[in-house]
Structure 1
Amino acid sequence: MEAYYNCLHCMNRNVRILTKDGGVHEGTIVNVDQQNVYLKKGAGKRVTTSAFYPSPYPYSYGGREEILTLSLFTLLAIALI
């Protein structure tokens, strides 16, 4: 539950997310629910960690940015950048 509230606090802000598997990802939190956080990656930033996958999230950012879905259970830390 702590990860959920931390993500809510960081909504619409640039963050760096560290995951339990050692992944580091930067972007803007565009939504959070009880299981997932949705991270908008900037143009040209691609995800290579298999724990992340493009989301069917209903927002469109002109195809230049990517929305990733990350399980709240994999979060280790969130930092504002």
Structure 2
Amino acid sequence: MTSQFVLTMGRDALTMLLMIAMPVLGVVMAVGLLVSIFQAVTQIHEATLAFVPKLIAAVVVFAIAGPWMISSLVDFLRRTIEAIPSVVG
């Protein structure tokens, strides 16, 4: 196992992590921004008003993009596990 292989695997893992997390993080950040603007305009400072819409948005994104996320992770893990014999031997 060379250091180049380890760095490549680490880079691929971080890329996969970002690719999987980005849809959920993007939507939750956008909903949080909209709720914050709404709270600033109406001067309503309720903690649940900030939390519940973000939670609902995250659940919706997981429901829509969940199958893609799981299939991407399974493909990455399959490639990683199949590469073990070539690395060890």
User: Which TM-score bucket, shorter chain as reference?
Assistant: under 0.3
Flag the structure with higher helix content. Answer: 2
- Give the TM-score, by structure 2 length: 0.20
Whose radius of gyration is greater, 1 or 2? 2
Q: So what's the TM-score if we normalise by structure 1?
A: 0.21
